[in-house]
Amino acid sequence: MKEVAHFNLLDYNTFGIEAKCDYFIQYSNKEDAQQAASKLVAPFLILGGGSNLLLTKDYRGTVVKAESRFDVEVIKTSTDSVWLRCWAGTTFDEVVEYAVNHGYYGLENLSLIPGEVGASAVQNIGAYGAEAKDVIDEIEVIEISSGHQFTFKHTDCQYSYRQSRFKREWRNKYLITHVVYRLSTEFRPHLDYGNIRSSLDAQGIGMPTAEQLRETIVSIRQAKLPDPKVLGNAGSFFMNPIIDTERFKVLTKSYPQIPHYSIDEQHEKIPAGWLIEQSGWKGRSLGRAAVHDKQALVLVNTGEATGTEILALCDTVREAVRAKFDISIEPEVNIQ
């Protein structure tokens, strides 16, 4: 187990914000996690890959995270499924790549989402019509207050759009050590979300293989999303708002081309990036923070921006959307 006082978190957040914590603990296995749990006294921050985090100041407390390493094993198989047990600190996209390469399916549409396995179970990460909850089977945790080990089924976690009990009543109650994904041995591609099908058509691909679907989604994301190693960012900064159908019908009178995705008969999801672009903020900057010029859902650090500068841009963009559409867009990123 790694323990460091006055630790610099610059390399542990993809925004590239220089901030320190009073104490840093990194656990490498369940026993480490139990020992780490015994040392945690509020305030503390459970960190994943730092790809969903905005640090606005030094963190006056302890930061704890799973060691970053690739650790994946098949623990069970059936006639049509395989169960992958993955260490919480494994890079999530490495799991997607591993699964596709071995003929385990269900993660393809989640290709190139940044972050680690543990965070996938907390955030219920999603993209292109797929969510982590679709494939999560179990989550293995250490209870911080007692050090006891527990295993939750996905049904225990009350997953919804970018939400779980880990973000609500279970916040700061558990250290995740492993996530078990149940994947299919039969490839059933989901192509009717975003521009997946049009991108495949442009390549002359009618029915893709899993490898082709993953490569296409990776290419789409790379074309729209900046590399955090080049331009600091946390991927999608805002969640797509869900509004009631009656409110949506009113909006269509002024904006007949408004993009949307039906959730159910009473609710529609509106792309936050479209709202931001229509509000005039795509590609604009506020000091050293900016809205990305290719994907308005992404806020970027153009060079040595502080967390407070990025937060100021966030607030300004939210107010612009609220003023134009009377819709509130909420940050997906954990702001500290």
Model confidence over 53-80: pLDDT tens digits? 999 999 999 999 999 999 999 999 999 9
Can you say how many angstroms the Cα of residue 177 is from the centroid of all Cα atoms in its chain? 18
What's the CA gap between 60 and 222, in Å, rounded? 35
Low-confidence ranges of the chain (pLDDT < 70): none
Helix, strand, coil fractions of the chain, as percent rounded to 5? 30, 30, 40
> Which pLDDT score, from 0 to 100, does residue 193 have?
84
Is the distance from CB of 199 to CB of 216 less than 8 angstroms? yes
Structure tokens at 140: 């293995």
Across the beta sheet with 44-47, what order do the strands follow?
2-8, 20-27, 59-66, 44-47
Per residue in 256-273, pLDDT tens? 999 998 888 899 999 999
69 is catalytic: no
**SS3 of residue 145 by DSSP:** coil
Looking at the chain, how many residues does it have? 336
Contact status, residue 260 vs residue 250, Cβ threshold 8 Å: no
CB 331 within 8 A of CB 237: yes
Whether 3 is catalytic: no
**Taking a C-beta distance cutoff of 8 angstroms, is the pair 176, 92 a contact?**
no
* Amino acid letter, 66: A
The tokens for 80 are 């049509």
Task: Determine the Cα–Cα distance for residues 174 and 166; give it in Å rounded to an integer.
Answer: 8
Q: Is 204 exposed, middle or buried (0-12, 13-18, 19+ CB in 10 A)?
A: exposed
SS3 214: helix
Q: What pLDDT was estimated at residue 33?
A: 97
Let me know if 146 is a catalytic residue. Answer: no
Contact 121, 139 (CB under 8 A): yes
DSSP β-bridge partners for residue 174: 143
**108, 116, 162, 164: the active-site residue:** 162
Give the per-residue pLDDT at 110: 97
53-54 and 334-335 beta bridge pairing: parallel
From the candidates 131, 236, 309, 318, give the one annotated as an active-site residue: 236
Q: Tokens 């797509």 identify what position? A: 240
Q: Which of 108, 116, 309, 332 is catalytic?
A: 332
Count CB atoms within 10 A of the CB of residue 6: 10
pTM to 2 decimal places: 0.87
Task: Indicate the SS3 state at residue 121.
Answer: helix
Residue 264 pLDDT:
87
> What is the token pair recorded at 285?
């900057």
